[in-house]
């Protein structure tokens, strides 16, 4: 078996990988979806949504960015099937509209999307919906929304995301 000619080797391993890397980055740098685009265009650009929520005047397409991800995007599709808005919803402003003893879990889903994790906290006797997020675009935080067995939000807690805290192992 003959070795690849040197010029072909240089082309394949010297030129192609940087081109592939640039094309991969192009997807990250591409402009986001814009209002007025059809739902089909939004889905073609962003992929299949993680959840879809019906709302009075259309639908919300949720794009959660993984269990360790700190963002969830919501695309609001109007009754005409066109994009009305697109926003990152894991923010203090969005969490602020969730009011204990007034907000139900269905509204939480439509406001900030599905939690990355649901865990039963025995000490409070409720499920905690955990949302990792980048607070003020700086801190790795975790918002926990406690929901009782009737689906009503009872309380909320914000603190450091324990999964992203440095380990204390090896320290005296």
Q: What is the pLDDT of residues 46-101, one digit of tens each?
A: 999 999 999 999 999 999 987 678 999 999 999 999 999 999 999 999 999 999 99
Strand order through the sheet with 51-55: 51-55, 58-64, 72-77, 83-88
Q: What is the pTM of this model?
A: 0.77
The conformational region for residue 151 under phi > 0 = left, psi -120 to 50 = alpha, else beta, is: left
pLDDT in tens, 1-13: 455 455 544 544 5
Strand order through the sheet with 153-160: 117-121, 126-135, 139-147, 153-160
């Amino acid at each position: 078996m003959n070795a690849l000619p040197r010029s072909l080797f240089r082309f394949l391993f010297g030129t192609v990988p940087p081109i592939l890397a640039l094309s991969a980055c192009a997807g990250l740098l591409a402009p986001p979806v814009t209002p007025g685009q059809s739902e089909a265009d939004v889905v073609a650009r962003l992929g299949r949504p993680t959840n879809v929520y019906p709302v009075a005047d259309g639908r919300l397409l949720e794009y959660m960015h993984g269990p360790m991800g700190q963002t969830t995007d919501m695309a609001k599709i109007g009754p005409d099937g066109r994009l009305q808005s697109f926003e990152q919803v894991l923010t203090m402003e969005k969490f602020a509209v969730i009011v204990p003893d007034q907000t139900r879990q269905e509204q939480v889903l439509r406001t900030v999307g599905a939690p990355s994790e649901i865990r039963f906290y025995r000490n409070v006797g409720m499920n905690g919906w955990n949302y990792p997020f980048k607070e003020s675009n700086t801190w790795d935080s975790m918002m926990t929304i406690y929901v009782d067995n009737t689906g009503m939000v009872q309380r909320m807690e914000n603190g450091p995301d324990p999964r992203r805290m440095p380990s204390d192992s090896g320290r005296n």
